[in-house]
Structure 1
Amino acid sequence: MNPSSSSSSSSSSSCVGFAEFYETWFSELQRVVQELRGSRRVEAMEKVMRHHHKYYAEKSLAAEKDPLAVFLSPWATALERSLHWISGWRPTTAFHLVYTESSLLFESHIIDILQGHRTGDLGDLSPAQLRRFSDLQCLTEENALTEELSEWQDSVSEIMGPGAAFSEKIGRLVRIIKRADNLRLRTLRSVVGLLSPQQAIEFLIASAELLLGIRGWGLNHDRPYRK
């Protein structure tokens, strides 16, 4: 077997391995979120956070082995891929989700709130929390990473040119993917850190339901094409 064939086989193996992990991870996410929904305990919330951390740790290893496959994410559905930003969800999506859930709960509890009753949920975000969310959203590195990816894509002529340092260019893509995933995880932690335990639990349930809902809808959409 020649070196290129060996590399292709290793890459294919790593793709299959992560695809299997991806399926298992979503099944486990559903289980840990059901536990969180039922118990509403901090311990269950921490289990959900560890589950997210495990995902990015595994994805980091997969990106080192085959960054192009990770970037394309063939294990994801067409719907998931259509929403991807550097092989995953946009960090600012977390803030949009908080605002959406907060607005919905605020409207459902508006009479109680107007009467001075505190609900303590996401519909009861304090002015200080809202300011901190706004400040944190402005500090995300999303735009900088988007520009870095654009520069990488613009360098395709260098990748294909004579004497091109292909491994160096691919290594840069690995770093971009890892930085994007690190930003996603840090954003998740930061949002949870700005919320009360009750609010954080509601946010993690909502975010998991969004991921699971998109995944489920995407699988139903893709099913006719996978036969």
Structure 2
Amino acid sequence: MSFHRFYQTWFDHLRRLVDQLTQAPRPPTTEEDHHILHQLVHMATSHYAEYYRVKSLAAKHDVFSLFAAPWSTSLERSLHWIAGWRPTTAFHLIYTESSIRFESHVVDILRGLRTGDLGDLSPGQFRRVSELQCDTVREENAITDELSEWQDGSSDILGMCANLDGKIEQLVRILGKADDLRMMTIRKVVDLLTPQQAVEFLIAAAELQFGVRSWGMNQDHQRGNV
């Protein structure tokens, strides 16, 4: 199966997973509810892990096609950081969702009522999110610098064809580091959230992905690109 076909299947499955996440019991009131949330979070993170596993195999076969990403819309490609989403996007998403949910039930929170959702993050959770964001920014910058060095030496490819395989292997490693950071960010964010908050984060992340893709498809259709 080509990566293009895999992506379509994977994306369709993500939609079904989001339907399940949306229907999950929130807030959980029983032990069974907690078990369901844990199971759904595990299923979602495993789905992302499978994506990066297959992507890694595809990169070894043709890394340039992953950067070109013909299965993506023009809008999606314009937002890519090293053939995928920028890991620090996850933190902007958390802050946005937390702010929206806090404002929607600020009166209840001020009365001391706990909602348990992303609008009810504890000071400790905010501190860990901030620390993780700083660590992720440093990792992003280091990988970006590595790609810049690779690009600076790309002129060597034209004059030294014998080194082409080595240059391609280096690009595969850079992409692997970027994808590892993306997956690690998902896992670490989920780990510092409660199961209910993790479900809400995963729903928001997927809905952002769906929205960008839908908007991009509409724009490409209007321009006659599809």
TM-score higher than 0.5 here? Answer: yes
Matched, 1:22 2:7: yes
Residue 162 (structure 1) shift:
3.4
Matched, 1:196 2:194: yes
**Aligned partner of residue 215 in structure 2, secondary structure:** helix
2:153 to 152, 155, 166: 155
Matched, 1:106 2:102: yes
Most deviating of 121-130 and 39-48: 39-48
* Equivalent residue, structure 2, for 1:4: none
**Aligned partner of residue 157 in structure 2, secondary structure:** helix
Is the Cα–Cα contact under 8 Å of residues 121 and 202 in structure 1 kept in the other structure? yes
1:59 to 45, 52, 55: 55
- The amino acid of 2:5's aligned partner reads E
2:18 to 33, 41, 47: 33
Most deviating of 95-104 and 39-48: 39-48
Q: Distance in 2 between matches of 1:174 and 1:163?
A: 18
Percent of pairs with identical residues? 58
**Aligned partner of residue 39 in structure 1, secondary structure:** coil
Residue 164 (structure 1) shift:
4.3
Most deviating of 136-145 and 182-191: 136-145
Q: Distance in 2 between matches of 1:202 and 1:37?
A: 8
Unmatched 5+ stretches in structure 1 = 1-13
Matched, 1:45 2:41: yes
Unmatched 5+ stretches in structure 2 = 26-36
Task: Write the deviation string for residues 114-138 of structure 1: whole angstroms up to 9, x where unpaired.
Answer: 1111111100111111111111111
Q: Distance in 1 between matches of 2:103 and 2:14?
A: 29
1:129 to 125, 132, 135: 125
Q: Distance in 2 between matches of 1:81 and 1:163?
A: 29
Q: Distance in 2 between matches of 1:208 and 1:158?
A: 40
* Equivalent residue, structure 2, for 1:116: 112
Q: Distance in 1 between matches of 2:104 and 2:148?
A: 43
- The amino acid of 1:136's aligned partner reads L
- The amino acid of 1:152's aligned partner reads W
**Aligned partner of residue 66 in structure 1, secondary structure:** helix
Show the 5 A alignment for 1:178-197.
Answer: 178-197=176-195
Number of equivalenced pairs: 212
Q: Distance in 2 between matches of 1:146 and 1:162?
A: 24
Is the Cα–Cα contact under 8 Å of residues 118 and 124 in structure 1 kept in the other structure? yes
Residue 47 (structure 1) shift:
1.1
Task: Write the deviation string for residues 141-197 of structure 1: whole angstroms up to 9, x where unpaired.
Answer: 100001111111110111111354000001000000111001000000000000011
* Equivalent residue, structure 1, for 2:141: 143
TM-score normalized by the length of structure 2? 0.90
Task: Write the deviation string for residues 51-83 of structure 1: whole angstroms up to 9, x where unpaired.
Answer: 111111111111010011111211111011010
Q: Distance in 2 between matches of 1:154 and 1:82?
A: 21
